Amino acid sequence: LLAAHAQRGDPLPARSTETSMRNVTDRKSVLVAGGAGFLGSHLCDRLLADGHHVVCLDNLQTGDLANLEQAMKKPNFEFVRHDVVDPLPVRLAERRFDRVYDLACAASPPQYQADPEHTMLTCVVGVTHLLQLAQRSGARFLLTSTSEIYGDPEVHPQPETYRGNVNPIGPRACYDEGKRAAETLTFDYDRAGRGEVRVARIFNTYGPRLSAADGRVVSNVVSQALADQPITVFGDGSQTRSFCYVDDMIGGLIALMEHDGPQPGPINLGNPVEMTVSRLVEVVLDLTGSSSEVTYQTLPIDDPRRRRPDIARAAEVLDWRPTTPLEEGLRRTIDWFDGERLRSERDAAA
């Protein structure tokens, strides 16, 4: 029934007037665009647990209703299937929201490159629709931007003041330049006094509900290791990334949205512990006890050589820092992937 509603794009109704919410005095009405995805679904769960009313808007391009299994059971949750590139449905555009989170955009390189024009439109036209909604509602707006706006960085680690090194005509540009334009639009709204905005520059984040098929390094390596299949390292594995556990990231996004001071500018959110892709593979092989062999494939075009957030601003303005060590976060992620694998094997056998 829920899926049928979702297919038609109807808001899914609250299931009961009784709520299991905590008794909050500050109950807000929150729109989460992209709420069926990896980060968005965790954000919905956290906001629901905090007693807020959450409307999730998603076209299910890379998201999955299965991520919302827990949320769907809550009376203070609604799902609307919609593509943010299209004008918002009237019934939604006329509603009042206190907060609008924009997470609607594929984040994995193979997925955002699959339809680059749609990715660019999602970043530019989609963000405009959501900014307009926030302005009409008087809602505070948060854009999830990305470390990708720094491109292949020449400054290391990357502070928010660094303007980046992006190839505007390469295969990653639909996303990198799209997000740069989304930031521009968001800060233009702020400058014009059209709304209160926040911009999070998210660095590589991992955890349960990453889609096994999304092509990102943690999802690929963990699923390959669990299935004892060859591990695919792109290039020689010496490129670096800094991996943040999802619970830490969600805490950072909410802290930024709820920051009441003057406009803080863009804020890097990520874990500054940097490692090579080869090291990540070693840790996953060790934690899974896998016998997978490591194979080497061509490095994708414009793949950044290194990436590590300078999070001094997040620490100072939000008093936020990640606390989950990589091994602990990976253990939880591996357990979740293993559970999903067993579940799909059981379903296939049934």
Residues of this chain that bind ligand NAD (CB under 6 A): 34, 36-40, 58-63, 83-85, 103-107, 122, 126, 144, 146, 202, 204-205
**Minimum distance from CB of 182 to ligand NAD (Å)?**
9
59 binds, among ligand UDP, ligand NAD, none (CB under 5 to 8 A by kind): ligand NAD
98 binds, among ligand NAD, ligand UDP, none (CB under 5 to 8 A by kind): none
**Minimum distance from CB of 224 to ligand UDP (Å)?**
8
**Minimum distance from CB of 234 to ligand UDP (Å)?**
4
Could you say which residues in the range 273-332 bind ligand UDP, by CB under 6 A?
277, 300, 303
Pick the closer one to ligand NAD by CB: 106 or 334: 106
CB-count exposure of residue 26 (10 Å: 0-12, 13-18, 19+): exposed
Q: How far apart are CA 140 and CA 29, in angstroms?
A: 11
Q: How far apart are CA 20 and CA 17, in angstroms?
A: 10
CB atoms within 10 A of CB 128: 17
Residue 159: asked if its preceding bond is cis (omega within 30°), the reply is no
Residue type, 131: L
HSE on the CB side for 21, CA within 13 Å? 24
Pick the closer one to ligand UDP by CB: 190 or 310: 310
**Minimum distance from CB of 203 to ligand UDP (Å)?**
8
List the one residue out of 248, 262, 270, 252 whose CA is nearest residue 319.
252
Which span sits near ligand UDP by CB under 6 A: 60-68, 112-120, 131-139, 226-234? Answer: 226-234
Alpha helices in 9-78 (DSSP H): 38-49, 69-72
Q: Binding of ligand UDP at residue 234 (CB under 6 A)?
A: yes
Pick the closer one to ligand UDP by CB: 197 or 311: 311
127 three-state secondary structure: helix
Could you say which residues in the range 69-128 bind ligand UDP, by CB under 6 A?
108-109
Q: Return the residue of 140, 241, 259, 308 that touches ligand UDP, per CB under 6 A.
A: 241
Count Cβ neighbours within 10 Å for each residue of 52-62 and write b for 16 or more, e otherwise.
bbbbbbbbebb
Pick the closer one to ligand NAD by CB: 61 or 137: 61
Q: How many residues bind ligand UDP (CB under 6 A)?
A: 14
DSSP bridge pairs for 199: 143
Q: Are 149 and 183 within 8 A, CB to CB?
A: yes
List the one residue out of 62, 23, 15 whose CA is nearest residue 41.
62
54 binds, among ligand NAD, ligand UDP, none (CB under 5 to 8 A by kind): none
Q: Return the residue of 119, 239, 292, 324 that touches ligand UDP, per CB under 6 A.
A: 239
DSSP string, 42-54: HHHHHHHHTT-EE
**Treating both helix axes as pointing N-terminal to C-terminal, what angle do 38-49 and 246-257 enclose, rounded to 10 degrees?**
60
**Minimum distance from CB of 200 to ligand UDP (Å)?**
16
Q: How far apart are CA 334 and CA 348, in angstroms?
A: 21
Q: Encoding tokens for residue 144?
A: 């999830």
Pick the closer one to ligand NAD by CB: 40 or 292: 40
Annotated active-site positions, please? 175
**Minimum distance from CB of 245 to ligand NAD (Å)?**
11
Residue type, 124: V
40 binds, among ligand UDP, ligand NAD, none (CB under 5 to 8 A by kind): ligand NAD
Give the interface with ligand UDP as residue ranges (CB under 6 A). 108-109, 204, 216-217, 220, 232-234, 239, 241, 277, 300, 303
